[in-house]
Structure 1
Amino acid sequence: MATAATVVVAVCSSPHVINIQNINCSRHYSYPARISAHNLVINNNRSFGSSASDLLIRRWKGAERTKKEQPNGVWALPRAKATVGTEDFIVEPATNVKFLTSLNVPGGSSSLSLAGTGFREKKIAIISVKVYAAGLYVDTTIKSYLAAWSGKLGSQIEQDNLFFNAVFEAPVEKSLQIVLVRDIDGETFWGALDEALSPRLKTTGAAEQKALDIFRETFRGKSLKRGTTIYLNWLKSSIMLVSISSDGSPSVADATIDSPAVAFALFDVYFGSHPVSPPLKKSVASGLASII
């Protein structure tokens, strides 16, 4: 639960410093803020540039606004937001991967907005390592299909399977962006994905098997280096496009998965009852709750 606290901000000369290291500054200001588990926690030995501190203070001050106070169409993600040139992005804190707040995906017809971010861990021997960061993008018109949950908090809809089923079935484009944070070969990536995907398939007829074979072949023989971006784009509930790019900007789809069962099973991997990335599902629930 959020608690009242006094945040001490050291104001330095450079407007570009957002580095939580020990920086000696001569001026300090106290600012009352409400700090939750989702926000950065700062103490007396952490320093920020003046313009950066103003930005973070405004976000902390607004973090507890009710959904009615949120402007329509604006995602209220509890993450530090920064700007590079004219492009806004959200930083996934566990991996430091930057996700643009809006983008156009291969095969898509409109710009999509970031609903939430998270990361995937995989246990290797006895150690859990982060494999990739992920962010879900949706067409903001999705809110008209989620009106039944209007007024609900993210924590209330996070475990609501009907809500995420409605997200999947809404006839708007959705895209999961995956950014690798370690080198991995395509076969290993597919193996881990298939391990979670196959048990979720209710049927494995010829159509489903063909879709799985196409999916597998998309990754076969590929060396997926750190920074590789994978887009899983649901154009509608029955068709999904797969795009892979080593430079983070795929322009075409590498494969088309035409199977309602496989498309839903993959969505369920991330947003079902037992998601492979609980932080992603939690973040998306909060992001969607803020606009409905």
Structure 2
Amino acid sequence: MGTEQVMYTVGSDLVMVDDIPFPPHISKTKQLSLLGHGLTDIEIHYLQIKFTAIGVYLEPEIVEHLQQWKGKAAKELAEDDNFFEALISAPVEKFLRIVVIKEIKGSQYGVQLESAVRDRLAADDKYEEEEELALEKVVEFFQSCYLKKDSVITVFFPSNSSTAEIGLTTEGKDESKITVENANVVEMMKKWYLGGTSAVSPTTISSLANSLSVELSTNDY
């Protein structure tokens, strides 16, 4: 399990997502830029409730791996799942910062994540005992916590690695972490958060498409 700390850039240029501030850059082993942000919602008693604000941090070098989409409009990118497949598979660090808006039991979040990943694995005929055990570990991680407003979930995907590190910070407690080491589960976690038209947050996908369309048009590689 990685022990490096996430460093947040503090300044006046914070990006506000539904009144929640996101720093424009964070550092893991490299400095990553906030290239997409949005909201997730959840249905509670037939009402759609804002659930989390999400920020997607990527190495700026991500555009090197997306050159075939240079010149494409943001709307076109947002609807192109092949574009997001390329983004997911690009060997760059990816970091998600997810801030809770509507408090919820950790077990509910864990089950939501488990269900989404399991369905994707089953559809690709990749759901075996190893994947089931890895998902159970994730559910157990969230089981005992209560996600109050402003709790922070982080998901870090290192470059050239088939692991994911999930972090959780809740009020008054030190950050707890878990490492997911099953490559199939990690792949489907990436698809749940970043997988184009099937991702959990359409607003985040639209934001990523907008940012990357601009980056691709202004950078030459």
Alignment TM class, shorter chain as reference: 0.7 to 0.9
Partner of 1:224: 147
The answer to which structure, 1 or 2, has the higher relative contact order (CA under 8 A, 6+ apart) is 2
Matched-pair contact (CA < 8 Å) for 1:97–1:133: yes
- Aligned 1:86-125 pairs, distance under 5 A: 86-92=11-17, 95-104=18-27, 108-125=28-45
1:254-273 to 2 correspondences below 5 Å: 254-272=177-195, 273=197
Contact 2:37-2:208 at 8 Å conserved across structures: yes
Deviation digits for residues 180-226 of structure 1 (CA, Å, limit 9, x no counterpart) = 01221110111222232211113112331222122112111011111
Return the letter of the residue paired with 1:109: T
What is the TM-score of this pair, normalised by structure 1? 0.65
Q: Which amino acid aligns with 2:166?
A: V
- Report the alpha carbon displacement of residue 276 of structure 1 after superposing the two structures with TM: 1.9
Distance 1:291 1:243 in 2: 29
The 5-angstrom pairing of residues 132-147 of structure 1 reads 132-147=52-67
Provide the residue aligned with 2:201 in structure 1: 277
Distance in 2 between the 1:268 and 1:220 partners? 23
1:100-130 superposed Cα distances (whole Å, 9 cap, x missing partner): 11012xxx31121001111111111121111
Q: How is 1:170-209 mapped onto 2 (pairs within 5 angstroms)?
A: 170-201=90-121, 202=124, 203-209=126-132
SS of match in other structure, 1:290 = helix
What percentage of aligned pairs have identical amino acids?
Answer: 28
- Counterpart of 1:172 in 2: which secondary structure? coil
1:204 corresponds to which letter in structure 2?
Y
CA shift in 2, pair 1:148/1:190, >3 Å: same
- Residue 168 of structure 2 aligns to a residue whose secondary structure is strand
TM-score by length of 2: 0.85
Question: SS state of the match for residue 151, structure 1?
Answer: coil
Is the contact made by 2:50 and 2:101 (CA closer than 8 Å) also made in structure 1? yes
Alignment check: 8 A CA contact 1:137 1:176 kept: yes
- Give the C-alpha shift of residue 270 in structure 1: 2.6
User: Judging changes above 3 Å, is the alpha-carbon distance between structure 1 residues 179 and 147 closer, same or farther for their aligned structure 2 residues?
Assistant: same
Map of 1:155 onto structure 2: 75
For residue 229 of structure 1, report the CA deviation from its aligned partner: 0.5
Q: 1:161 to 1:288 in 2, by over 3 A?
A: same
* Structure 1 unaligned residues grouped into runs of 5+: 1-83
Q: How far apart are residue 85 of structure 1 and its match?
A: 6.4
Question: How many Å separate the matches in 1 of 2:173 and 2:61?
Answer: 24
Q: 1:266 to 1:216 in 2, by over 3 A?
A: same
Task: Look up the SS of the partner of 1:226 in the other structure.
Answer: coil
Aligned position for 2:219: none
State the 1:263 CA deviation: 1.4
Q: Do the aligned partners of 2:88 and 2:191 also contact (CA within 8 Å) in 1?
A: no
Letter of the structure 2 residue corresponding to residue 216 of structure 1:
V
Rg larger in 1 or in 2?
A: 1
Distance 1:207 1:132 in 2: 29
Q: Deviations over 1:16-64 (max 9, x none)?
A: xxxxxxxxxxxxxxxxxxxxxxxxxxxxxxxxxxxxxxxxxxxxxxxxx
Q: Is the 8 A contact 2:163 2:182 kept in 1?
A: yes
Question: Is 1:211–2:123 an aligned residue pair?
Answer: no
Q: 1:242 aligns with which of 157, 161, 166?
A: 166
- Aligned position for 1:126: 46
Secondary structure at the counterpart of residue 149 of structure 2:
coil
